A and B are shown apart, each in its own frame.
Chain A
Amino acid sequence: MTGAAGHTTNVVPHESAAKHVTGEAVYVDDILVSGELLVGRVVTSPHAHAKILSFDLGAARAVPGVHAVLSSRDIPGVNDMGPVVHDEVCLAADRVFCVGQAVFLIAAESAEQCRAAERLIHVVYEPLAPILTLADAIAQGTLLGPPASIVRGDAASAIRKAPHRFSGELETGAQEHWYLESQVALCVPGEGKELQVYSSSQHPSETQALVASVLGIGKHDVVVEVRRMGGAFGGKETQANHTACWTALLARASGRPVKIRLFRDDDMIMTGKRHRFLSRYEAGFDDRGMLLGLSAELHCDGGCATDLTFAILQRAMLHIDNTYFIPDITVVGKAYRTNLPSNTAFRGFGGPQGMAVVEQVIDRVARTLGLDAAEVRRRNFYGTDSRNVTHYGQTVERNHLPLLFDRLTASSGYAKRRADAGIFNASHEFVKRGIALTPVKFGISFTTSFLNQAGALVLIYKDGTILVNHGGTEMGQGLHTKMQQIAAREFGVSLDRVKVNATNTAKVPNTSATAASAGSDLNGMAVKNAADILKARIAEAIAPVLTGGNTSDPTRPEDILFEKNSIVDGRHAGRSISFADAMPVMQRLQVSLSASGFYKTPGIGWDSVKGTGKPFFYFAFGMAVTEAELDLLTGRHTILRADILYDVGESLNPQIDLGQIEGGFVQGLGWCTTEEIKWDDKGNLLTHSPDTYKIPSVQDIPREFYTALLDNVPNPGTIHSSKAVAEPPFMLALSAWLAIKDALSAASNHTKEPEFSLPATNEVILLSLEKLKAR
């Protein structure tokens, strides 16, 4: 059961739900194209690191049905895909840096012809030594850039003086996005240099910029449209650009429409993952479990190019505190280059990797002192009046942690269930139960502050229907539904009057990625801004119309209300006109019925070099209690129950928000348990299909699963007092990870600290148990 008490007014289904269930919803691969369509294929590197000595494309180009075979030499513009740092090419030139890196492109009339041509491409590589593990990268010092640090006080001294201390190391694994719809783009050439790009991209403006750049043309010749994505989760923030650019190059070269859809295995082999981290920490604490000092060094695997690695590492460093006040703290972040595909954004964006460290620390503190871990967490929470400033100097405002803790421990029956688990464990040798509570505090805003902006273009037609364009993209998170609701509420019209258009770079330019959980915050405000402009114009023009002959007591524009599909004078009952009837009047009165809206987040900014400031507009809070059962003989875990309480401010749409929370939690559960990525010693991905890479299935979710929204916590200054959802719930799954650890720890009656890493696969668990037995 789920709960949304106090949030029930805005429940409307996802705007595409009826299309989803009938199969009518159109994804890029479903767009009907003429018989001229060519199939595009990417030929990739078989080596993790090699020089390209020579190649010959002649035979491939001669295959019947083949219209283009391209190498980096055939790129008319700039061979560069780096979104921030320019260290990533579109097609390999003289060296390859990972298995799966794009080297050549083929367009042909059929996939079979593409494969035939690929077999005829002759390349001579000279293999070079690759770096494939973080340990090797650290040993060889292959830093992508200078280390970063955030420091408050003197952590070394605080730890030294602390009554208790320990140090440790934690590995957190890579994660494959496994969006159901693999990377895909369709490019249709128009007249002259024009190119229409249908892309499954979270960042159409960047896709547009890079397509223009590789083709050497102006952005005004490239239109990128995104109707919807079949999932993205960060994996299409920068890495959708590649497929779009490859497709564009082939369309330009062949003069025909071209589509590239990566086959699942190819997508998994070619695209980047969540960054794996190796974190080393040292913590000092007192007898009550209060953290006195924390020193942490986060090492992350950036893969073969920078992509968004520095922003991701930064967010990990900004979230190493999670919800805890740590008086003296030093966190150092280092990103390394390896010969694996460039790692990229993934829900949480470094947050999960940072939080896992401090949650592991707290878990160890509790075990060391024999205290209840939830109580240790509560003691260390940020305060409301004191102990409320983060390590980077931002005050934690409107702190809902105490409220969440009190309500959730009560509703989940935490204390009793913890005692019950102990009783169960005393009478079961081969099966143990564990329970854990973990909180989340997640900063909302792009930490690159200028990106916190959004645009919208709202059009009203003469029949009173409204078309909303905004810069955000729909990947399943319900953004378009929320934008539709916001526009309908602002104009006081029913939902069926409002349609949200496919995201299109010709409608709203220069947008930021739909990312950082900020999609509805930013675009919602931009839509509202456009609506406000239009309403002011309409009110000004309609007031004399409503006044009619009553000139002695005129309707004033400021009295105009938009409600119930009508435009009314709030002071004079009876003076009203239906919204639809008013629009032809507007046209006759020569009033513009289109307006662009804009929004930039106020009052944020920070110095990433000094590591201080206010990077976040606000914090989102949530908490989870999870209970797991562990079969000590097989390493199999079962999540018996999860209880989640989450703060979304005033929910824009409770059903969508609950869906994001549950879905995020289960995705996090995958990262914490069964999703394990392995490469061989040549840099080949071993887990390159769902055969060996295991995301949660229906049977892996908590047997009992309760999710509720915290009520009566409006968030001032945001669109309709709401808060972001999207990313933060992912990290609540750390409660499942630590519940499993608690069950594992019960095997030694909690007397020994078990070896543990993330994901906690059955292999990690069984081997850890063997070591517990041997100790």
Chain B
Amino acid sequence: MKSSFSFILDGTVVTIDAESGLPPTTTVLEYLRASAAHKGVKEGCAEGDCGACTVVLGSADASGRISYAAVDSCLVFLPMLHGKELVTVENIAPDTGLHPVQEAMVATGGSQCGFCTPGFIMSLFALSKNHDHPSREVIDDALTGNLCRCTGYQPIIAAAAASCVHGGRDHFSAGEERVAAMLRSIPQGSICLRTEHQVYHRPASLGEALSLLHQHQDAIVIGGASDIGLRVTKRHELLASIIDISGIGELKACADQGTFAEFGAGASLSAVEESARAAFPALAAMLSVFGSRQIRNVATLGGNLGTASPIGDMLPVLFAYDAVILLEGMNRRREIPVREFIVGYRKTLRRPDELITGVRIAKPGPDAAVRSYKVSKRKDLDISTVSGAFRLERDAAGRVSSIVLAYGGMAERTKRAAAAEEFLLGKPWDRSSVEGAMALMSKDFTPISDARAGAEMRSVAARNLLLKFWNDTQR
């Protein structure tokens, strides 16, 4: 087990060990800003909501090609860079002149105060590497995680359209093989970093992770750290024991098995979104408004389930799909239906020595209608005020034979509208039945008022979502 980690920055391999004095929970943003050569990266919020700190991570795939993903450097712990190339705004211009995305931003007037600009540049850089002639939808998606308060975004959209036209080929492409070789030179084994107050494990295999978890049951398990990271950046907590499972390849697989699919707990939400699109459109739809591209590139399915947030967007959808949570401990595997897995406010049935390894979802039959809805103040990069995911099956007579109405944001945990469901069972799926069920929802929920909305609005929205679902099934 190594006591150091390595990544590529500014064209060379950087190796950091405990001697550096850096706490393992140092964020990539903090690391970069401490360097005179990387003041271009900016802190706007330190919580992944503004994107001013966006950097790009390059990873070598099996073929030796480098794939690029934009991430919020404020939410990435430094050791998570192990085996990756860190690309910053200072790195992308050729020796003379500017990168095409930079040139385009100058030409369209895409910067005003300029403080958000380095983050936008890096999101555009990743976009240019991953998409050729992107549609407006793809551009919007790539830029949702970057806030600009000056321009109104239009010139930035224009810059994206004008510059992402080279099929991802730029002066970086020529150096790709060299970078891939450097990345291959970094050993992919497990890592343990110990400082005076912290121990940070980054196991390379599931078996090793389970063994570590068995020994350190109080350890915090991180996949993407997009939620846990806030405890460091905002609450300044000292996380004493961490097991970082982001280096475990076997947890990242998403596999279509015919009648069902399995999504690895370590798969990024971007990867889940992509592989769910065909068979689980309600899941992909919810993911499309989940966080931002930067967040989805690091956040994992397992992490979102593990936090069991009452407003976690994935849970209602997984309820509707009747997903099964796969858990593994030392010499033990369990499968628990997601509807039983969540037992209270941020509480699950996961035992301290268990890892969530994945989620299995059976493909709904052709007669089942599954939809997901999210009500939030802002359409994108916002946490749900109320979310709903519904599944309807009808018998030959058109009567409701099975119904799931799962809601987030309406109780201390994801909760089904039991009274409304019971009312609908056996009834024709028509507007009067639905309105009858809507009237019963006050029995099912007693929502709270908070910064996002008042209780009354939540109740109205919850009722309306059922009507919306009904309306959508009429097409």
Contacts and interface: CB of A to CB of B under 8 A. Distances in A.
A180 B50 contact: yes
A635 B461 contact: yes
Nearest to B449: A678
A232 B107 CA distance: 24
Given A230-B114, A659-B112, A762 B46 contact: no
Contacts of B375: 634-636, 762
B234 A265 contact: yes
B49 interface: yes
B144 A20 contact: no
Contact of A699 (B150, B379, B457): B379
A691 B47 contact: yes
Nearest to B466: A633
Given A477-B112, A689-B49, A762-B375, A633 B106 contact: no
Contacts of A29: 39, 43
Contacts of A180: 42, 44, 50, 52, 113, 115-116, 147-149
A100 B42 CA distance: 24
Most A C-beta atoms less than 10 A away, residue of B89, B117, B234: B117
Contacts of B115: 27, 179-181, 230-231, 476
Contacts of B43: 29, 264
A697 B379 CA distance: 9
Given A24-B40, A766-B457, A13 B50 contact: no
A264 B118 CA distance: 18
Interface in A166-180: 177-180
A754 interface: no
Contacts of A2: 154
A231 B144 contact: no
Interface in A102-154: 112, 115
Interface string A631-669: 011111000000000000000000110111011111100
A687 B46 CA distance: 16
B109 A22 contact: no
A767 B236 contact: no
A694 B377 contact: yes
Contacts of A707: 154
A26 B380 contact: no
Nearest to A667: B149
A662 B377 contact: no
A22 B50 contact: no
B382 interface: yes
A639 B47 CA distance: 28
A358 B147 CA distance: 32
Nearest to A661: B152
Most B C-beta atoms less than 10 A away, residue of A691, A767, A770: A691
A762 B377 contact: yes
Contacts of A25: 114, 117
A17 B457 contact: no
Nearest to A677: B451
Interface string B90-127: 10010000100110011101111111111001000000
A430 interface: yes
A767 B457 contact: yes
B379 A22 contact: no
Contacts of A263: 46
Interface in B310-347: none
Given A20-B117, A476-B112, A662 B89 contact: no
B113 A179 contact: yes
Nearest to A178: B149
Contact of B153 (A14, A179, A701, A762): A701
Contacts of A633: 464-465, 467-468, 471
Contacts of A22: 40, 89-90, 93, 98, 102
A676 interface: yes
B46 A264 contact: yes
Nearest to A13: B106
A242 interface: no
A471 to B, nearest CB: 19
A264 B44 contact: yes
A634 B102 contact: no
A193 interface: no
B149 A21 contact: no
Contacts, number: 240
Contacts of A694: 377-378, 382
B44 A476 contact: no
A13 B93 contact: no
Interface in A33-50: none
Contact of B140 (A632, A666, A699): A699
Contact of B50 (A23, A478, A690): A690
Interface string B437-473: 0000000000000111110110011001101100100
A452 B119 CA distance: 37
A674 interface: yes
B451 A686 contact: yes
A692 interface: yes
Contacts of A403: none
Most A C-beta atoms less than 10 A away, residue of B146, B148, B149, B156: B149
Contact of B149 (A231, A265, A762): A231
Contacts of B146: 698
Contact of B379 (A19, A695, A700): A700
B152 A701 contact: yes
A664 B148 CA distance: 12
B298 interface: no
Nearest to A263: B46
Contacts of A687: 451
B237 to A, nearest CB: 11
Contact of B144 (A656, A663, A699): A699
Contacts of B157: 698
B8 interface: no
A745 to B, nearest CB: 19
Nearest to B113: A476
A18 B457 contact: no
A763 interface: yes
B326 to A, nearest CB: 31
A733 to B, nearest CB: 10
A690 B147 CA distance: 10
Nearest to B120: A21
A21 B47 contact: no
Nearest to A111: B236
Interface string A225-239: 000111111000000
Interface in B376-420: 376-383, 385
B468 A634 contact: yes
A179 B450 contact: no
B155 interface: yes
A692 B105 contact: no
Contact of B147 (A32, A697, A763): A697
B37 to A, nearest CB: 10
A553 interface: no
B20 to A, nearest CB: 16
A666 B378 CA distance: 14
A475 interface: yes
B105 A766 contact: no
Most A C-beta atoms less than 10 A away, residue of B50, B90, B98: B50
Given A181-B44, A689-B234, 20 more contacts: A16-B114, A17-B109, A18-B106, A20-B105, A21-B101, A21-B117, A21-B118, A22-B40, A22-B98, A115-B236, A181-B42, A430-B467, A476-B111, A658-B109, A686-B451, A690-B47, A698-B139, A698-B148, A766-B460, A767-B457
Interface of B: 36, 38-47, 49-50, 52, 88-90, 93, 98, 101-102, 105-107, 109-118, 121, 139-140, 143-144, 146-157, 234, 236, 373, 375-383, 385, 450-454, 456-457, 460-461, 464-465, 467-468, 471
15 contacts: A19-B114, A21-B111, A22-B102, A25-B114, A115-B236, A178-B147, A180-B149, A230-B116, A231-B150, A634-B465, A635-B457, A674-B377, A691-B49, A762-B376, A767-B457
8 interchain residue pairs of minimum CB distance = A23-B40, A476-B113, A230-B115, A20-B114, A666-B152, A476-B112, A690-B49, A662-B152
